[in-house]
Structure 1
Amino acid sequence: MDSRRSRHARSTLGRLTVASMVTTIPFLTGCVKPEEDRPWSTKQQSLGLEKTVSGPVETVVATETTVAASPPIPAAATSEEATDVILDVDVTDTAVAESVILSGNSPEDRARTWLETAAQNDYSLVRAYAFEAMQHAPALLQEIGPRGLVDENRGVRFVSTMAMGRANLDRLAPLIEPGLLDESESVQAASIFALRRFGLPANPSPLAMMAMSEDLEIRGNATMILGMLGNPSAIPIIDNALGHGLRLQNPMRVRITELQAAEALVSLGDDADIEPIRAALFAPVEQGELTVLACDMLGRLGDQQARSMLMRLVIADGNQRRPAEIRVAAAGAIYRLPAPHEPGLERVLLEYVTAEDPRLRTQVAGALAHVPAPEARAALDRLLADEDLVVRTAAAGGLLALERSREGAVGGPSPNLAISPPD
């Protein structure tokens, strides 16, 4: 790979448009317009969050800053289900550092403390990551999550609703039902998902029309939800939507939407559609966002036949060496496959914990949520004090996901939001 091609590839990966849900968030479906009437800079006063706990309390002092330059790429999804929504956010080039005290006896306690703060942040991407991460702590989501349902940003409303559905917080059904009439069709789709997850008779018919929408945000989210609801009768709906009305759309965004449809079809039992996802692992390097997306999908789908392909992306060296974002995505996907995992694989992720680009650190935080090694927990605790708000929030979600995994929690997936700005 010549230097010019390498620079172009890194520039492309730096603005991935492929959701970590929570997340995935990690890149897909359309964009949520920025909040035009409010500042995006963090302007809150210093926040001291003290809790009464028994025994000694560790206190970590971090700094609260605005997210400078550009928002992060999607974190690797930490669930077997995807939640992909794009927030088109505005950012400033300045950073205002303010002290914030995170109190708690453990990294997980400090993560909960931070999420309470992040849910009130001025920056919609931070709020979205926070509400998504709370599905790893259902009690916290039940207490604070209702704020997300009435957030002024439709991306945050979407993510909050999806998180509640995944966490099976059926007590919140009366608060979710108004979302069926939300001005955003994506939020309507999320409300249908949550209510049906609760076993309530929400009409799924609107999802079929949304899956044909020319708005890629709506189409992608509806397709994803059809797959997550698990009814094979949705297969012809998704098949019929493929290619419909997309001739004037950005070709890359169309390809991403098609891959998302393929993932939904595989999750519904149409295994043949795994092939285009596998093929995307070897997309041209300048289309690296497709490779990152494919890695996340194959991890979520548990495609063990792709293990050797993913390892090839991790270990390739010399002029075949992949950009950091692809290596992290591939390693994170392998950790979502059944053990045993290749010895030392965690070092691929740990080497990027201190990466200069906050988008890469965010991605690393999402991938570490699947790594059972104690080094992963220590690295996430370090990222919890990161100067970048989104990195910090992704790390909080990763810590809580690992905690639930250690406790052997059953049900309530633990994804990490895959949200990114459009290209």
Structure 2
Amino acid sequence: MKRFQLMRVCLGAVCLSMLAGTLNAADENETKLPTNLPELRETAVKILVEASFSDVPLLRANALEGMQAAPDRALPLATRLLNDPNPAVRYVAVVTAGMLKFDSLSTAIRPLLRDEHPSVQAAAIYALRAVGENIDLTPLAGLLERRDPGLRGNVAQLLGLLGDPSAVPMLNRAALLPMPRVSATDLAVVRIQIAEAMARLGDDDALDALRSGAFSQFDEVRVLAIVAMGEVKDRRMEVALERLADQPPVEIQVAAAGALARMGNTTKVQSVLDAARHVNPIVRGQAAVNFAYFSDDRSLVMLRNMLIDEEPIVRVSAAAAVLKRLSK
């Protein structure tokens, strides 16, 4: 994995309109799929547990992220994956422990303060502070200043999760630090990550960087900026996002529709429904993640169908969305 970033598995509310607790069948022949909400949830859990044992690090990491909606199920996964051979998976495990306040894992996390990968070290500092340990945050400042774009972006994310507004000046300085050997794309990505963290911490001036990023020449940067606007609920951009949700490329459409849904505007669900049928499994996975922001029957049925997609990354994304949505 290029960056140790958490997938944005931030999902929507359960579909309350299904009063009987059953799902409308999208296809008469799909009898093997779950037909009620408890069964759907357990199917999603099973997919994520199985994926956590995958030989593919990305699937292991995404499986744990997806399980965050069910802390009791996430704890054993996080416990095991703290010792994963892949640093990106360890990073996700440590961050999950912090986000879900798994204080029982403090002893297991402490050795990771000396992990060979700086992003894992930073995650360990975050997690220990998040679970109430008295730990010095000063090393995060040094890690934030290193010229590794992935590390800088991860540390910015962790500072945003900690929720301490006093970190804003530090983040602002980091955004201005040069990285002369880094590609223009990576530099732009890091600046979006820093801007999002600052916005999370209450710095409204950082919204300008996110708004500009939505119109970057780099599609990756555009997607990150649009998703971030949804995360921080930048309602001033709602009209612009509605336009973006109707204009290709499809990745931008899905990101914009999901950002709008996060703000309570679900009018662009059709863009996500169309993307769910896309030939590219990455696009289908993106659609699955964003379905979780919606609460209509059609998107829930589509998620159910995506649990048997031929591509593992789509199945894991759909399972994560289902679990978060039904946990609301």
Pair in the same fold by TM > 0.5:
yes
Question: Does the aligned pair in 2 maintain the 1:22–1:163 contact within 8 Å?
Answer: no
Identity %: 32
Q: What does residue 375 of structure 1 align with?
A: 298
> Are the aligned partners of 2:219 and 2:252 in contact in 1 as well (CA < 8 Å)?
yes
Q: Runs of at least 4 residues of structure 1 off by over 6 A?
A: 16-19, 101-104
Counterpart of 2:236, as a letter, is Q
2:249 to 309, 312, 323: 323
How far off is 1:138 after superposition?
0.7
Q: Which residue of 2 aligns with 1:302?
A: 233
Task: Please state if 1:354 is matched with 2:277.
Answer: yes
Whether the 8 Å CA contact 2:11–2:290 is kept in 1: the answer is no
Three-state SS of the structure 2 residue aligned to 1:302 is coil
Give 1:192's aligned amino acid. I
Q: Within 5 Å, give how 1:55-94 maps onto structure 2.
A: 77-78=9-10
1:23 matched residue in structure 2: 7
Residues 371-398 of structure 1, C-alpha deviations (whole Å, 9 max, x = no match)? 1112222111111111111111111110
Matches of 1:185 and 1:364, distance apart in 2: 32
| 2:60 partner amino acid | R
Residues 130/386 of structure 1: CA separation in 2 closer, same or farther (3 Å cut): same
User: Could you tell me which of 207, 212, 218 is aligned with 1:279?
Assistant: 212
Write out per-residue CA displacement over residues 140-199 of structure 1, whole angstroms, 9 at most, x where no aligned residue: 111222111000000000011111211222222222222212111111111111111111
Q: CA deviation at 1:322?
A: 1.9
Q: Deviations over 1:234-284 (max 9, x none)?
A: 122112222324012111111111111111111222211101111122223
Answering whether residue 222 of structure 2 is matched by residue 291 of structure 1, we say yes
Match of 2:245 in 1: 314
- 2:99 maps to what in 1? 166
Do the aligned residues in 2 keep the contact of 1:332 with 1:368 (CA within 8 Å)? yes
Tell me the matched-pair count.
Answer: 307
TM-score by length of structure 2 reads 0.88
Distance in 2 of aligned mates of 1:167 and 1:215: 28
1:125 to 37, 46, 58: 58
Taking the TM superposition and a 5 Å limit, the aligned residue runs for 1:14-413 are 22-24=6-8, 77-78=9-10, 106-284=39-217, 287-315=218-246, 321-337=247-263, 339=264, 341-343=265-267, 345-405=268-328
Question: Residue 220 of structure 2 aligns to which amino acid in structure 1?
Answer: E
Residues 404, 342 of structure 1: alpha-carbon distance in 2 compared, 3 angstrom cutoff: closer
1:48-90 per-residue CA deviation (whole Å, 9 max, x = no partner) reads xxxxxxxxxxxxxxxxxxxxxxxxxxxxx4179xxxxxxxxxx
Relative contact order (C-alpha < 8 Å, sep 6+): which is higher? Answer: 1
Q: Is the 8 A contact 2:11 2:291 kept in 1?
A: no
Letter in 2 for 1:351: D
Question: Which piece of structure 1 moves more, 161-170 or 205-214?
Answer: 161-170
Is the CA contact 2:11–2:321 (under 8 Å) kept in the aligned structure 1?
Answer: no
2:98–2:131: 8 Å Cα contact kept in structure 1?
Answer: yes
Q: What is the RMSD of the two structures over their aligned residues, measured on CA atoms?
A: 2.2
CA distance in 2, matches of 1:362, 1:275: 29
Mark the CA change 1:353 to 1:249 in structure 2 (over 3 Å): closer, same or farther. same
The verdict on how the C-alpha distance between 1:190 and 1:79 changes in structure 2, with shifts beyond 3 A counting, is: farther
Point out where structure 1 has 5 or more consecutive residues left out of the alignment. Answer: 1-15, 25-76, 81-100, 316-320, 406-423
Q: 1:22 to 1:227 in 2, by over 3 A?
A: closer
Counterpart code for 1:325: E
Change in Cα spacing, 1:138 to 1:360, as seen in structure 2 (3 Å) is: same
Match of 1:92 in 2: none
Query: Which one has a larger percent strand, Structure 1 or Structure 2?
Result: 1
Name stretches of at least 5 consecutive residues in structure 2 with no aligned partner. Answer: 13-31
Aligned to 1:145, the other structure's residue is in SS state helix
Q: Deviations over 1:14-51 (max 9, x none)?
A: xx9798x6423xxxxxxxxxxxxxxxxxxxxxxxxxxx
**Aligned-partner Cα distance in 2 for 1:375–1:206:** 47
Counterpart Cα distance in 2 of 1:102 and 1:159:
30
8 Å CA contact retained: 2:11, 2:293: no
Q: Is the 8 A contact 2:195 2:209 kept in 1?
A: yes
TM-score, normalisation: structure 1: 0.69
8 A contact 1:18–1:290 mirrored in 2: no
